[in-house]
Amino acid sequence: MAFAPQEQFRVLYLNAGNELLCDEVASIGSVSAVHIYPREVLKRCLELGGTAIIVAHNHPSGRLVASRSDRIMTRKLVEAATALGVAVHDHILIAREGSLSFRRKGFL
């Protein structure tokens, strides 16, 4: 994902034992943005019998900085997931410079 030409949003769906059920690309965007629909991500999680997710997206620009819109989208996803009893363990930002954990940065 670090070298992909467009932003991608991936979701790791986990069961109650935090075992991987499925790894899917939820959305592919442009060179500078990707749109994600929490409803669709959470619908898929429930279809799989999942209880938790880890999400990740990349920045093709190479910049390892969580934008304001990244943080807002993550907050909306967490709020919707919490209402459905789904845990969001982390949101990982991936770029050529490395990776950034929203949880470690205090964004979750």
Tell me, what DSSP letter sits at residue 10?
Answer: E
Contacts of 7 (CB under 8 A, 6+ apart): 28, 29, 30, 31, 32, 33, 34, 57, 58, 59, 60
Helix (H, G, I), strand (E, B) or coil at 3: coil
CA distance 12 to 24: 7
Per residue in 57-107, pLDDT (tens digit) is 999 988 899 999 999 999 999 999 999 999 999 999 999 989 999 999 999
Q: Could you give all domains of the chain from N- to C-terminal order, each with its CATH number?
A: 8-62+76-86+95-105 (3.40.140.10)
Tell me the pTM. Answer: 0.92
